Amino acid sequence: MKLGELLDKVRESYVSRLAAAIAASPGAAPEPAMLRADGTVAREGKLDLGLRADLARAVGESHETVRVASIALARFEPLRFEWNGVPIELAPFFWDALWMTLVGVPTVVSFDPLREWYERWFEDEEHPTDEGALAHVVHSLSDPRPTREGCEFELDLGSAPVEAFEELLDAAPALGPLRVVFEARRARS
């Protein structure tokens, strides 16, 4: 199986559940950005990034967010390849709960290439919505967490297309890692 086909399969496993949850919740807001009281995107963390929920629905005078989670981990043999001269390891993962380890990258570097990638795929105005109510956006990127090998991030790729993952493959090597590892970390129930 080619990389693009594999990524399509992993994405579809999650996005089909997200689309079904949206369709089953008329009047709910699909993939809303979390906002401050003044209506601006709430930003936080070392990278100063926004966050999206999978779905938000009105409950009385407030809103509750709904988390839609993958239930099946796509099974495939881990792939090893080079991207922009950097070794990449791609193990089975969830589209909505992907762990990325940047081996050899400390948490004190500038993460601008990763931040720029995230902001591009966080903004919903830039992406066509040809799959119903899906916005084709990423939902979250954690702050870098130090590891023995470098640093790691948890990502929720939301409804972003495979192109977003491919652009992540461009952004990660720009940080100068010795190796990049993508994987799932915990089983879903």
- pLDDT by residue, tens only, the chain of 189 residues: 789 999 999 999 999 999 999 999 888 899 999 999 999 999 999 999 999 999 998 888 888 999 999 988 988 999 999 999 999 999 999 999 999 999 999 988 999 999 999 999 999 765 455 556 799 999 999 999 999 999 999 999 999 999 999 999 999 999 999 999 999 986 444
With residues binned 3-state (H G I as helix, E B as strand, rest as coil), the percentages for the chain, rounded to 5, are: 25, 30, 45
Boundaries of every domain in the chain: 1-189
Consecutive H or E run containing 165: helix 162-171
Q: What distances in angstroms separate CA 124 from CA 121, 139, 179, 183, one per listed residue?
A: 7, 11, 31, 26
Q: What distances in angstroms separate CA 78 from CA 88, 105, 143, 147, 162, one per listed residue?
A: 10, 22, 25, 21, 18
Backbone φ and ψ of 132, nearest 5°: 70, -125
**Residue 86, pLDDT score:** 97
